[in-house]
Structure 1
Amino acid sequence: MKKVNNCKKPYVLTAIALLFVATFVTACSSGDSEDEKPQASEGFLKCKIDGTPRVFNYQVGANDKPDDFNAIHFVTVGGLETNDPRTSPGFDFQLISDEGAKETTYTAANESGPDLTGQYYVQTSTGTTSYMGNGNSGTSFTLTITSITNWGVKGTFSGVLKSNDVFVTVTDGEFAAPYNKN
């Protein structure tokens, strides 16, 4: 099966890949107060794909922690199903916002909406199949940020993702992802 790239902005995929790799290399410890952390201190990412529950709780992380002086212009969150980044299925998404990310709902909508992409990928020894949703070609992705704190980002997500002519439906997505540490 050949890899398909449905994204019109290749820099978005590069940024997602670089930030996701940083998630794997960076420890996710936190020194913030206990009331800002979810119950699972390492974070979680789960959803249903075509009605089947999937859990991507390995190496869950968000973008680098923002400083106190700048708005959060992007939110990147990802996780894996197993602890092997070479062969594990994974899920990630990225929001880029010129105005700064806020606790609200974002919907990918072609060129007229926010720069938002959700991706589910399956890796095997013969290659990777990526299902993407960015508001193009019958796809969709909705992200609701419910909390942005010094610990990380929490929220919900859903969408319709596509690889070649195959669509998958993502429902009941939830996440709590700690920031990578600088």
Structure 2
Amino acid sequence: MPQKLPAPSFEDLLDSAQAHALHLELRDIYAVGEEREVYDTFLRDGSVPADDSEYWSGWLPLVKRTVARGVKVRRARIVSEPATDYIRFEHAITDANLRAGEQVRWLPRRRASTLALPGNDFWLIDDRIVRWNLFSGDGQALESDHTEDPQAVKLCAEAFRSVWNLATDHADYRI
């Protein structure tokens, strides 16, 4: 049996993108782990971290430099309604993603019933590699996986395109 190669780091994957980096999120709840303090503050008083806070220190600069190279960074979220507290939190912090250059859309789960979707969240880089974001049943992040299998790439590209076309732009989506 061939030895499985380790997944490239997420930063390396984004740095390798030439045209687009597409992210599909399918879960209503993610275990908050390192987000605990920020999330608890949001639940308590509705406040969100500033763009220059430690919370965003790794993500926003990575997105900004990726977008500056002409790469489209798009994120689509399929969500149940009414939204969970975690989705309300994600919605509240998304303005920072937008300021960094991401494009974000939301699709109510009831509108996704006829779509062919993969079983896990993913990032698709330039229609050539899929990075699967894997989670335990309680939402804890597990070790990611990746594939360059053409069928998986095609499934993810078609799924993302279908979701994106049905979804509502962040500016127009209300929780």
Larger radius of gyration: 2
Give the structure with the larger strand fraction.
Answer: 1
TM-score, normalising length from structure 1? 0.28
Q: Flag the structure with higher helix content.
A: 2
